A = this chain, B = another copy of it.
Amino acid sequence: MSVQSVDRALDILEALADQGGEAGLSEIAARTGLPYGTIHRLLQTLLNRGYVRQESDRRYALGGSLVRVGGVAEGMVGGWAEPYLTKMVELSGETANMAVLEGDFVVYVAQVPSPRRLRMFAEVGRRVLPHSTAVGKVLLADRADAAAVFGRTGLPRRTEHTITSVERMLAELAAVRECGYAMDLGEEELGVHCLAVPVSDGDRVVAGMSVSGPAERIDALDRDELARGLRKIADDFGAEAFGSGR
């Protein structure tokens, strides 16, 4: 039903992404379990098309052709998310956002604003560091290399509530994994609180969705109940947009 060689080529691309975009042939072999000869041949093909690039030290890296295709895809996904974000707005009364991780940044790719007078607005396209946002936390909670990300970006203080210690942050991420949602209590912007839930493709967290609003309004909601509702919506979206088969 599926074309084997294409499936395997995608495995290789994903293995490369998992390793941060760069890996040697044997690392790919370890991760995918495919025989060397096969991987090498598949890599040649991806190389010819610019989907993979070979560094001077013979290691392989994700290539430029993916940027264009990925960019177009990102626009699509943002569009599909809107009905789901709308449900989140209905459920919470607050502005809903979707964001993905791009390199070490959180990028907002879609938004549906709250109907209220006082509301969060126009985040689409914004790039922020993950440590001070609720979506950032759900996105990193799933990644084994979260500590490495903090090593590169640091945890700059944005407000008096920002978590600036790596240990405390890792503990926070553990808590997020535990309860399945993340909060931002004025850590990015004073007076703004958010609750974020993960969007999964059934295997890994690929995006986050959140609602954000004035601290008092968010705090007035029942977190666990709200989180349950949002998770449901996010799961539906994940299944629709990313799921399919596997």
Contacts and interface: CB of A to CB of B under 8 A. Distances in A.
Interface of A: 1-3, 5-7, 9-10, 13-14, 16-17, 20-22, 41-42, 44-51, 53, 61-78, 80, 100-105, 107, 109, 124-127, 201, 204, 206-207, 241-246
13 contacts: A1-B48, A2-B48, A5-B5, A7-B48, A48-B246, A49-B246, A53-B76, A63-B76, A63-B242, A64-B201, A66-B69, A70-B73, A70-B74
**How many copies of this chain?**
2
A2 to B, nearest CB: 4
Contact of A3 (B16, B45, B63, B71): B45
Contacts of A61: 76
A69 B14 contact: yes
A90 B125 CA distance: 31
A140 to B, nearest CB: 13
